[in-house]
Chain A
């Protein structure tokens, strides 16, 4: 997905002279062609995420379309107040593209993990949140939001689903329908969810836009009143959105995601998936247990 970020951004820089790219000293080598092609609109601002966010706000105020980029904890948590005040309160269209979702950088430790990004950003009025699951989806979604008047967060994951799907900004995609339960899959967990759901009579809804949240699609595709939400970040991040969508319906909801604790082990992301219950066989087991308990 990172390669796609470079390609899509290069294309946008070439096509629209309002696009400006600001890097927080991350991805500089990958963007070497963009630096050469558009030296006046591509900047490595250094390691100062707070100022970078405010600088992007100033550029947006003057009609430019900035894209800022760094590792998730630095471009979300470090400069959270700049995102709140400079971008959301002022309603300025800046795109924040992060790399290093949840524990993608497992071996670098907790300072570089960020399973709380979406939960935090969901608290900011007006912030759009996009979680593509494949490079093609990233391309489509960045192009959909890059010139939007409101700020948008695009969450890059090191891992991609095996197949891309037809996705649209602001809308969930109904991938299959079934009667026993509905599974809501967010971005890069879809591959595991589809594998887990094989042969089971369940609906699978695929969410790549989390804000604004497409509550209507969820409401319309949950006749079983049994919902399993599979999140690639802190468990329950979408709880308020799910409750808003389905709160008036009697509903059983189960969650699979990242527990709210510091994951102090290192290792590989796949090992953390296993510890969180996010592998395909574990999702399958959660789903079967849910269906069995409901029967």
Chain B
């Protein structure tokens, strides 16, 4: 299993990953860059410091499972998986191409390290409940993580899954909510942590861009209940012109915009 101290200083590494994401999207003229940036810190900490995995054996029984329920943020997952050796980083350059394994939403039958094909919202968390139940049946001590968006929490299936996970006391399951408030304009979710707590989960709120907080929240002992980590995030984080600008939800920079966007990356 791949675990050890991080080899690259986070700040440098993350700027490089953001550049990879922007270039992939710019090549394809496709992609949800701002959504990817919203979760990049979380994914980086998860894969660098929390999950147990072996990129040479991506389906190993000994791995922890991660399900990206908000599949439209696939670029962040691809960038991190490539960085961790699941496939060559150059693969990102073909993102969105007709023959590329990497599409706008991840396909578990094409991409090593992707646990579930997601895209339509509200499917990944209940699938993660099934995986957590399966690991319990196998008497495995591996953990299951699912990352959902706040918009995704509009879907009823998320709350069906929330009920099931607490009823079956799936302490091996952690749900991370990427709370970037992108759907406040449509449907106010309010205190998401309190809602999950009311559904019987152990809930905690963190700053989703603070690596120490993310690591602590994702490694704390489970305590017999499924855990939710509500991460306050900024959509487009790490690129000032994108932060809080909804027009970047599903837009790739034009060739003319690209140098300006790259120059803004932190």
Contact surface of A with B, Cβ cutoff 8 Å = 20, 40-41, 43, 45-46, 48, 50-51, 53-64, 81-82, 85-86, 89-91
Contact = CB atoms under 8 A, between A and B. Distances in A.
A59 B122 contact: no
Interface in B113-148: 115-117, 119-120, 122-123, 126-135, 137-138
Nearest to A48: B160
A45 B132 CA distance: 15
A59 to B, nearest CB: 5
Given A85-B119, A90-B109, A48 B134 contact: no
Best-buried of A40, A58, A82 by chain B (most CB within 10 Å): A58
B134 A62 contact: yes
Best-buried of B109, B115, B130, B134 by chain A (most CB within 10 Å): B130
Q: Kindly list the 4 A-B residue pairs having the minimum CB-CB distance in the complex, ordered from nearest.
A: A58-B130, A54-B126, A62-B134, A51-B160
Given A48-B157, A62-B134, A86-B127, 13 more contacts: A45-B164, A50-B122, A50-B157, A50-B160, A51-B164, A54-B161, A55-B161, A56-B130, A57-B127, A58-B134, A61-B116, A86-B123, A89-B117
A173 to B, nearest CB: 35
Contacts of A85: 117, 119-120, 123
Interface in B84-127: 108-109, 115-117, 119-120, 122-123, 126-127
Contacts of A43: 168
A55 B130 contact: yes
Contacts of A54: 123, 126-127, 129-130, 157, 161
Contacts of B127: 54-55, 57-58, 61, 86
Q: From DSSP, what is the main secondary structure of chain A's interface residues?
A: helix
Contacts of A48: 157, 160, 163-164
A56 to B, nearest CB: 6
B156 interface: yes
A90 B258 CA distance: 35
B264 to A, nearest CB: 36
B111 to A, nearest CB: 12
8 contacts: A46-B163, A46-B167, A54-B127, A54-B161, A57-B127, A58-B116, A58-B131, A89-B117
Given A45-B164, A50-B126, A55-B164, A64 B134 contact: yes
B153 to A, nearest CB: 14
Contact of B137 (A41, A50, A57, A90): A41
Given A45-B164, A50-B126, A90-B108, A59 B134 contact: yes
Contacts of B161: 51, 54-55
Contacts of A82: 123, 157
Given A55-B127, A61-B115, A64-B134, A91 B120 contact: no
Contacts of A61: 108, 115-116, 127, 130-131, 134
A89 B108 CA distance: 10
A71 B153 CA distance: 27
Contacts of B164: 45-46, 48, 51, 55
A63 B257 CA distance: 47
Contact of A90 (B117, B131, B156, B163): B117
B137 A40 contact: yes
Given A50-B122, A64-B137, A91-B109, A59 B130 contact: yes
B156 A50 contact: yes
Contacts of B131: 58-59, 61-62
Given A46-B163, A54-B123, A54-B157, A62 B138 contact: yes
A64 B135 CA distance: 10
B116 A90 contact: yes
A59 B133 contact: yes
